[in-house]
Structures are given as C-alpha cells and as structure tokens.
C-alpha cells in the first residue's frame, strides 16, 4: 500500500471513456493532428488511472516527437510527466535518453510557446540525469526576447536549484537571477526572480529590496506581494532585524491595490505590536471595509479587526466610527459582526457619536423599501440597549425614538424595545415621567399581546403619583372600550328557537357586533353578540377581533392571559392611588367599581360558550377572581405583594444581570498586572542608535512581549502535555504517542514515533483511517528510522460537523531481516465533542426563541447516584463544558427541585441548548435518602450535536462514589 501512494501526483484528469492501447497506437501512427490529440489525451488518462503502457512509448517517440502541432507537443509533455521514468532501484530508464534531445530542441525552438511550456514541464521533473544536459539551454532562455520565456526559465531554475544536487547543477544561479532582476522590466519575471532569491539566497533579495526602497511605490502589485513574502520570511529567520522592514511595509501600505493593502496590514500586525503600526493597520482595514464591494472581503476584514480588538483594544477605540461605516452594507451578517465589534469598543468619549449613528440607522429602517428592515431594526435596538446599560446617561437620547417602534409588525423587534424601556424605567428614575407619558400616547398602536403585557406591567409598577395613575386608568379605559364585551339579548330576541333559525337580534346604537347561533350543551340554539367596535356616530359592522381598541381586540381573540394582566395592572394602580390618600373617596370608589366591571366583563366573555376562539383557562380565571377579591377589599394580606414584592423581584433580576455582565467584561479584559518589582522602561532614555521613533516604539513593545510572554508559553506547553495519548505499548518495537490539537475546522495530529529496536526500519508509514465526519487530507509518507531514532509525523484531519469521531490505524515498516512488512496496531483516538464546544452566553429571550425554533431534540432521562440537585447540576456543567444561564440567586435554597438552562457554542457556530429539570424524590420520613429523577433535554439546529451531547451526558451523569456521597 505504501509503495502505491509514494509517488506524487502533479495533475488530475477526469476520464469517463476507456480506450485500448491498440486504438491509441493506431491513431498515433496516422497523420491527422486532431486524432493524435485525442489519442494522447486517452493515453495520459490511462497512465493517471494506473495503467502501464510500455509498448506505446516507442510509437510516441516515432510519430509524436516530430509533430509540429502545438497541442500535440503540449500533450506530449503531459505524457512524459505522467510516465514512470525510473526503474525499481531508482535509476533512470535508458529510453529516457531519447527524450533529452527532444527537450533540448524544444528549448531552442523558434516559437516562444513551445519554449515556455517546455520550461514549465521541467519545473515538475525531479530526475537530475534528465535536467543536467539541459542546464545551458535553460540559462540561455533567460536572455530570450519574449517575457513569457524568461519568466518560465526563472521558474525552472528555481525548481532545479531546489533539488538535492541543485547547487551542483547551477552553482551561479542566485547571482545570475539577481543580475536579471536588476535589469528586467517585465513585472511577472521580476516577481519570479525575487521569489527565487527569497527561497535560495535571501541575503541577495534583502539587499535588492533595501536598494530599491525609493521605488517600492512604483512596483506592480505582483512584485509588492512578493516583497511582503520576503519580509515575512526575513523576520522569521532573524526577528531582531524586523525594525528596518517596518518603514518598508508602511510605504507599501499606500499601494492602490487592495490585495497589497490587506497583506501589508496583516504583515504589520504580525511583526509589530507598536501602537503606531497597529493604528496604521487598523486604518487600512477600515479603508478596505468602506471601499470594497465584495461581502466576502468585508467579512474577512472584520475578522482581522476582531483580532486587533482582542489584542489592541485601546488603539481600536480610535477607529470605531470608521468601523461603523460598514453598516451601509445590505448584508445582515456584515452588520451583525460590525455591531459586535463596535459595541466592545465603546468608551465615554465616543458613546455619543456611536449612539448618534445607531439612531440614524434606526430611522432608516422605517423606509418600507429597506431590505430586511425588521431584523436589522432588532439588531440595532439590542445594540442601543447594550449602550444604555453601559452608559445610562445616553438612554434619554434614544428611548423616545425607539418607542415609536412599539407598534412594529415585527414582534421580536417590538419586544426588544419594550424590554429596553422596562430596564430603563428601573435603572434611570429621572426618565420615568417622560417615558410614561410617551407610553400612554402610543399605547393604542401596540397590537402584540406580549408587548402589551410588558407595557401594562410598566404602567402598574412605575406610576407613582396621582396624575400618572389617573392617566394610566384612562389609557386602559380607552384601550378596553365600553362594557359589556358581550351584548345582552333583548326581550324581543328569544334565547332559543323551536324551529328553523333564530330571529336576528337588534343591535344597540351604542354597540355594533355580529350575531350567530351557538349550540348549547343540551343541543338547543342560543344567539349571542360579540361587540367589536363602538361608534357613537353611526353603527358600523364589525368584521373581526382585530378591529377596535387594541386590548379589546386581543380579549375578543381569546387572549385571557392578557385579561389577567389587565386586572393585575388595575389592582396595582388602585392600591397605589388608595395609599397616596389624595383622591376623594367617591372618586376612588368609582375607579374601583369601573375596574371590577371590566374584570367581570372579561370573565363573562370567557365563560360564554363559543364567544372566543379559545376558552377561558383556569389559571387566568383564578387570577382575575383574586383581583376581584382584592378590589373588593377582602384580601388585604396580599397588598404588600402587589405594591412592593413584584418590583423588588425585577430589581433583583436586573442587578443580577448587570453583575454577571460586569463579571464577563472583567474576565474578558483581564490582563497581567504590573508587579511591584517589574522593570520600568523609559523610552526617552533608550539608546536610539539612529533609529526612527517607530523603530524605538517597536523595540519597547517587543521587549514587553518577551518579558510577559514566558508564562503564556509555559501554560501552552503544560496544556499540550495534558493532551498526550499513548498509541502503542512500551514493549512494541515501535513506540508512538500523539498530541491532538483541535483547531476551528481541522484536527492536527502530532505523532511521535520511536524505533525501540536495534535495526533500521525502512519504509515506515503511519496509516490512519477515520470514522464519523472526519476526513484525512494527506497521503502517508514513508520514513527511515535508525535504531533509537525518533520522528515527528504530523497528520491533518478535516472536521465537517460537531460529532464524536474515531481515528484508528497502524504503523507499517520493513525491517532488514524480514521478508514481509511488519504491522503495529495503534490504539483508537476518540475525538470528543467537548473539544468542539465552549461555554457561551446569550440573553433569555434569545434562548427561548432558539428553543422554539430548533427542531432536533434529544431527551435524556436522569439516572444518577447523586442525591443533591445542586451538586448534580454542577457536575453536568463541568462535564459538558457549558454555561449556566440561570442566575445563582434562582438556584438558591433547598426545595428538592431544580430547573436550569445551559448554553454552549461550537467552533462551527452551532448553538447547543440544554434544559435540566431534576427533582429529588422523598426517601425516608425526613426526605433524606431519595433519588434524583427528571429529564435533560437537548436542542440544536443539527442532529449531530444533539445526539453527541446526549451520549456524553448519558455517559457522564453517573457520579464517582465520593462525589455522590457528598
């Protein structure tokens, strides 16, 4: 197997039709050029498919070599590239000598195309016996009049000089190429010359670059990119000399080519941490972000800005406004990433400018022609909400603008606005009167039940003075309309009819409704009227529940949960009004009677058969009956709950969220503190030695990086040792161990192989195979290991999804005293899902939306030896590497029941949602000794992560005996 894959493949050709050697030979012996072309294509395809055609070689030498057709000559070179040129011992086949003369003739051919393709063919030839007689002809082509020939001659020299004996074949190649570089005018040829010097004579390339520093701006983009490759390689070879290249990069940063600008900025940030260099790179990225129209380019540039933000946040705060210019893109992905970057760069200096830009963008979304306005508005509202949480003083500038969107048809956007308003009301007491006034004004526009419920809660909790309470009661009365919601049948209209249809009811002038017979429980008919809209001027026909005032329309549509919210709001308002003792008793009694009338009307609406699409549920009925008793003065014990406890619970929740946000920010911004005995570096006292300010700045930052980087390097080495997996036994002839490193989309397997025998192992090959969504991307190579020698073999494996996979394989080698190959089977390497996911945070609303949206669910029954619900939850969090979104305050206490939400994000951007619902059953008389029961539900957008995470939880939920007993 190893010998079959040892040869490298330089081309791939699809072949859907097989042909026989006799057919190919017959076509080649003819005089038709088109037939020869087709025959040569078939011959090359057969060779690449593994067929051996030894009898065809002489025919090709006789009939194809003399051909003058350019296409035939090109196919001949492909054929020569595909055939085996050496025997089993590695010696050149004798018949290959026939080819050398033809290649020499091609290199001296009067047509530049034949010369060029022949030179390109020689770039892929590794046999030195073929190349040696052609060296003079290759060098002679460096002086050809056509640039196509010269540039391919440089490529051929580069590949020949790279061979093990290349320096012997062309000892003066670097000097010749440098001389050509200094006098050449063709851009591609100069690029190839500089690349050759960069690979084989870097000192000559650096000398040329520094000599041409004044002309860098006039170089073409191809040559400038090659110069950047030279700078990167020179700095890797000798990091101490990078200071003299930074000015060169800054010159190239002014190039008109976007590719050169991007590469310059990336190179600059990789070489230097000086603020001036980082600032120049950030400005370059922002320029590309604003000027380039390709969305893929913008996403790549935003990724680079994200990396800069993590390492150089202070510098990036200066370009936050330039970054926000990317919001003009119509792509939601670009807008979201731009907002994510910008929100982390907000400071007290730029908050006003950032909020001003966001307000303008919100206003733009009012345009009906705006693409995806609802989703974009939701992102903007969330961004403004985040700004207001960090800097409460800006809330007054945006809250009124956002409240205009409470009646938005996009419920998610309107919910974000009302949640923002609710939080502002709690954290910013100064804005409460103005916000309440504005809420009363636009309340009639709100048509979403969830938004209306939150708005009613705000009214009930934050209306503190008599004028505000009276205004809120008036707003509710206007939104509910007159009572009753069901029109009573008149005396002329019988409740039942004996035969046929019932008589139509007379609609009162004060109400307009629709009547239809309803079937009662005993099978008789009754007529009822649901009033949808009232007009004092004229009787209008009501067409459905969506017409009329918003609260009335929602109640007629069967939303009785909202009816309970309305009743609770009225109770809170009237209890506060009574506590203020500023309202006369008759007026207060009138307000109370009116509120009770609305509650009773809602109850009658729900209890009437067929009046609404959905019947009245028991919870809503109990809540409204409780409100009636409170309004009647029968349940005074609950007044403190209505007036204080509800708001105190929300205040506690808000403070808990702010504390968690501050903790996350502090951990993200945590940096190594300066120790008391650390060295203080004064830049003004540093020996400049003729260096520029930028070079001095770069030296200082490099010194600081070296001084603070040792701990990080030690930590990285320690974590690497923790990932070592033993693949073979200590008594095996080959000892192998692997370090598995999971990157974003691939797995790097570093396998260390040691020969533990006293004999040389030849053709040692690491053969791997995978199970699951893992794919090997490299062919195994053969190695020779001396006795006691060690070799590091690296294998790359691509990952396509978040699923558990297995890597297995063996090591095959040939010993000096064995006729057959020996095989050592390796231990399996299990790729755990925990390597792909990491803890993440998301808002409660976002979690609920994803929970409702995701279609894949895995339900795992709890079967554990734990007896404490809190300890079990901590065990699940630790073993699944997830973040608990439920605040600690909600998990306190010893009630024997617990429900918590966990969240994590995979490296592929997939979301993993987990809900843990666990209860301790009663064991003994005191409740001790019970076992835990319940379910863990996992939801995700893809099947793989839900199944893999479920398997992991099932495997790990049983605790170690010591932990379970604790």
Q: Residue 482 above 80 pLDDT? A: yes
Is residue 781 included in any domain, yes or no?
Answer: yes
**CATH code of 429's domain:** 1.25.10.10
How much is the average pLDDT of 914-942?
80
Mean pLDDT comparison of 94-98, 597-601, 677-681, 687-691, highest-scoring range? 597-601
How much is the average pLDDT of 322-346?
90
Q: Residue 497 above 50 pLDDT? A: no
Residues 942 and 841 in one domain: yes
How much is the average pLDDT of 574-591?
90
How much is the average pLDDT of 901-918?
88
Contact 482, 533 (CB under 8 A): no
Distances (CA, A) of 841 to 514, 524, 665, 850, 857: 50, 58, 12, 13, 20
Report pLDDT for 249: 87
Residue with the bigger pLDDT between 11 and 806: it is 806
Report pLDDT for 430: 87
Q: Across the chain, how many H-helices and E-strands are there? A: 40, 19
Residues 824 and 846 in one domain: no
Q: What are the tens digits of pLDDT across the range 30-41? A: 888 888 888 888
Report pLDDT for 15: 63
Is residue 117 included in any domain, yes or no?
Answer: no
Residues 421 and 478 in one domain: no
Report pLDDT for 803: 66
Contact 738, 725 (CB under 8 A): yes
Q: Which domain holds residue 822?
A: 722-831
Average pLDDT, the chain: 80
Residue with the bigger pLDDT between 924 and 573: it is 573
Residues 827 and 770 in one domain: yes
Is residue 4 included in any domain, yes or no?
Answer: no
To which residue do tokens 């007036």 refer?
A: 643
Percent above pLDDT 90 for the chain: 24
704 pLDDT band, cuts 50/70/90, is: low
Report pLDDT for 964: 43
How much is the average pLDDT of 102-131?
88
Q: Residue 179 above 50 pLDDT? A: yes
Residues 615 and 755 in one domain: no
Calculate Rg over the CA atoms of the chain.
40
Report pLDDT for 676: 52
948 pLDDT band, cuts 50/70/90, is: confident
Residues 469 and 404 in one domain: no
Q: What are the tens digits of pLDDT across the range 356-386? A: 899 888 888 877 667 677 888 888 888 888 8
Q: What are the tens digits of pLDDT across the range 537-573? A: 233 233 334 457 888 999 998 899 999 999 999 999 9
Is residue 170 included in any domain, yes or no?
Answer: no
713 pLDDT band, cuts 50/70/90, is: very low
Report pLDDT for 696: 57
Q: Residue 98 above 80 pLDDT? A: no
CA distance 96 to 474: 102
Residues 866 and 950 in one domain: yes
Q: Residue 779 above 90 pLDDT? A: no
673 pLDDT band, cuts 50/70/90, is: very low
To which residue do tokens 């309004």 refer?
A: 631
CA dihedral (288, 290, 291, 293) positive or negative: positive
How much is the average pLDDT of 662-677?
58
711 pLDDT band, cuts 50/70/90, is: very low
Percent above pLDDT 70 for the chain: 82
Residues 599 and 477 in one domain: yes
Total structural domains within the chain: 4
Residues 480 and 602 in one domain: yes
Choose the final residue of a domain: 646, 674, 693: 646
Q: What are the tens digits of pLDDT across the range 605-638? A: 988 877 888 889 999 999 999 999 998 887 778 8
Tell me the CB-side half-sphere exposure of residue 713, using CA atoms within 13 A: 6
In this structure, what token pair is assigned to residue 545?
């529940």
Choose the final residue of a domain: 783, 806, 831: 831
Choose the final residue of a domain: 595, 623, 646: 646
Report pLDDT for 534: 36
Is residue 575 included in any domain, yes or no?
Answer: yes
Quick check: helix, strand or coil at residue 715?
Answer: helix
Is residue 660 included in any domain, yes or no?
Answer: no
Contact 451, 418 (CB under 8 A): yes
Contact 502, 517 (CB under 8 A): yes
Residues 858 and 870 in one domain: yes
CA distance 43 to 941: 49
Residues 471 and 573 in one domain: yes
Is residue 28 included in any domain, yes or no?
Answer: no
Residues 480 and 593 in one domain: yes
Taking residue 213's Cβ as centre, other Cβ atoms within 10 Å add up to 12
Is residue 728 included in any domain, yes or no?
Answer: yes
Report pLDDT for 515: 43
**CATH code of 927's domain:** 3.30.310.10
For the CA atoms of 458, 463, 468, 471, the dihedral, rounded to the nearest 10 degrees, stands at: 40
Taking residue 603's Cβ as centre, other Cβ atoms within 10 Å add up to 19
Which spans in 51-200 are helix H? 56-63, 70-82, 97-107, 112-122, 128-131, 135-140, 147-161, 166-169, 173-183, 187-200
How much is the average pLDDT of 300-314?
89
In this structure, what token pair is assigned to residue 859?
């339900």
């Amino acid at each position: 197997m190893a010998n079959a894959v040892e040869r490298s493949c330089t081309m791939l050709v699809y072949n859907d039709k097989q042909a026989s050697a006799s057919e190919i030979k017959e076509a080649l012996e003819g005089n038709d050029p088109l037939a020869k072309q087709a025959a040569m294509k078939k011959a090359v395809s057969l060779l690449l498919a593994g067929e051996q055609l030894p009898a065809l070689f002489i025919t090709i030498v006789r009939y194809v070599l003399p051909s003058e057709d350019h296409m035939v000559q090109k196919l001949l070179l492909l054929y020569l590239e595909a055939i085996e040129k050496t025997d089993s011992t590695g010696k050149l086949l004798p018949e290959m000598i026939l080819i050398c003369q033809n290649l020499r003739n091609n290199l001296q051919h009067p047509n530049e195309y034949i010369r060029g393709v022949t030179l390109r063919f020689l770039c892929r030839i590794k046999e030195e016996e073929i190349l040696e007689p052609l060296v003079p002809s290759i060098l002679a082509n460096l002086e050809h009049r056509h640039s196509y020939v010269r540039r391919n001659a440089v490529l051929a020299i580069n590949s020949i000089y790279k061979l093990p004996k290349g320096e012997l074949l062309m000892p003066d190649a670097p000097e010749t190429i440098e001389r050509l570089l200094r006098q050449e005018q063709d851009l591609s040829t100069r690029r190839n010359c500089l690349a050759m010097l960069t690979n084989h004579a870097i000192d000559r390339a650096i000398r040329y670059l520094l000599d041409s520093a004044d002309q860098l701006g006039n170089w073409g983009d191809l040559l400038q990119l090659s110069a950047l490759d030279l700078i990167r390689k020179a700095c890797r070879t000798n990091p101490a000399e990078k200071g003299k290249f930074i000015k060169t990069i800054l010159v190239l940063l002014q190039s008109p080519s976007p590719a050169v600008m991007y590469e310059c900025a990336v190179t600059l940030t990789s070489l230097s941490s000086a603020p001036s260099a980082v600032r120049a790179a950030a400005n370059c990225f922002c320029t590309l972000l604003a000027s380039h129209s390709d969305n893929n380019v913008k996403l790549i540039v935003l990724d680079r800005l994200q990396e800069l933000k993590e390492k150089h946040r202070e510098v990036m705060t200066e370009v936050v406004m330039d970054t926000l210019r990317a919001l003009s893109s119509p792509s939601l992905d670009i807008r979201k990433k731009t907002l994510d970057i910008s929100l982390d760069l907000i400071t007290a200096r730029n908050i006003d400018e950032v909020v001003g830009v966001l307000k303008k963008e919100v206003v733009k979304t009012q345009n009906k022609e705006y693409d995806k306005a609802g989703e974009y508005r939701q992102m903007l509202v969330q961004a403004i909400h985040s700004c207001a949480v960090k800097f409460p003083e800006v809330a007054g500038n945006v809250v009124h603008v956002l409240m205009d969107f409470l009646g938005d048809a996009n419920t998610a956007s309107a919910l974000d606005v009302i949640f923002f308003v609710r939080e502002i009301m709690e954290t910013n007491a100064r804005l409460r009167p103005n916000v309440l006034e504005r809420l009363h004004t636009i309340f009639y526009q709100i048509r979403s039940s969830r938004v209306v419920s939150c708005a009613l809660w705000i009214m009930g909790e934050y209306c503190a003075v008599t004028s505000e309470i009276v205004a809120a009661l008036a707003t509710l009365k206007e939104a509910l309309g007159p009572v009753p919601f069901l029109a009573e049948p008149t005396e002329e209209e019988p409740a039942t009819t004996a035969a046929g249809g019932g008589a139509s009811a007379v609609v009162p002038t004060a109400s307009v409704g629709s009547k239809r017979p309803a079937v009662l429980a005993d099978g008789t008919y009754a007529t009822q009227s649901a009033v949808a809209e009232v007009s004092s001027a004229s009787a209008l026909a009501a067409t459905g529940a969506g017409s009329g005032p918003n609260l009335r329309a929602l109640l007629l549509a069967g939303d009785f949960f909202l009816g309970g919210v309305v009743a609770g709001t009225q109770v809170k308002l009237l209890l506060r009004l009574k506590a203020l003792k500023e309202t006369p008793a008759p007026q207060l009694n009138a307000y109370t009677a009116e509120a009770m009338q609305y509650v009773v009307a809602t109850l009658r609406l729900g209890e009437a058969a067929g009046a609404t699409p959905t019947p009245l549920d028991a919870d809503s009925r109990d809540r409204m009956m409780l409100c009636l008793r409170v309004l009647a003065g029968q349940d005074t014990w609950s007044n403190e709950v209505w007036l204080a406890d509800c708001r105190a619970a929300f205040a506690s929740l808000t403070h808990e969220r702010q504390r968690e946000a501050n903790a996350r920010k502090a951990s993200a911004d945590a940096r190594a503190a300066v120790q008391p005995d650390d060295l203080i570096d004064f830049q003004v006292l540093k020996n400049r030695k003729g260096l520029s300010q930028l070079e001095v700045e770069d030296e200082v930052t490099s010194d600081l990086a070296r001084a603070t980087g040792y701990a990080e390097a030690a930590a990285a080495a320690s974590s690497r040792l923790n990932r070592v997996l033993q693949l073979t036994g200590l008594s095996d002839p080959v000892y192998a161990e692997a370090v598995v490193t999971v990157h974003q989309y691939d797995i790097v397997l570093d396998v260390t192989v040691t020969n533990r025998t006293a004999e040389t192992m030849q053709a040692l090959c690491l053969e791997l195979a995978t199970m699951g969504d893992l794919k090997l991307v490299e062919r195994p190579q053969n190695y020779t290991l001396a006795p006691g020698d060690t070799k590091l073999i690296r294998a790359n494996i691509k990952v396509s999804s978040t699923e558990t996979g297995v890597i297995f394989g063996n090591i095959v080698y040939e010993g000096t005293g064995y006729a057959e190959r020996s095989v050592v089977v390796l231990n399996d390497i299990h790729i755990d899902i925990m390597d792909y996911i990491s803890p993440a945070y998301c808002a409660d609303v976002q979690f609920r939306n994803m929970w409702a949206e995701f279609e894949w669910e895995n339900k795992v029954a709890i079967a554990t030896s734990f007896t404490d619900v809190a300890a079990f939850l901590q065990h699940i969090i630790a073993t699944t590497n997830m973040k608990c979104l439920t605040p600690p305050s909600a998990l306190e206490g010893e009630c024997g029941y617990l429900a918590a939400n966990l969240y994590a994000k995979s490296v592929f951007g997939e979301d993993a949602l987990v809900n843990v619902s666990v209860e301790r059953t009663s064991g003994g008389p005191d409740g001790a000794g019970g076992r835990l029961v319940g379910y863990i539900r996992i939801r995700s957008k893809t099947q793989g992560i839900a199944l893999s995470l479920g398997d992991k939880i099932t495997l790990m939920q049983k605790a170690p005996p010591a932990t379970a007993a604790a």
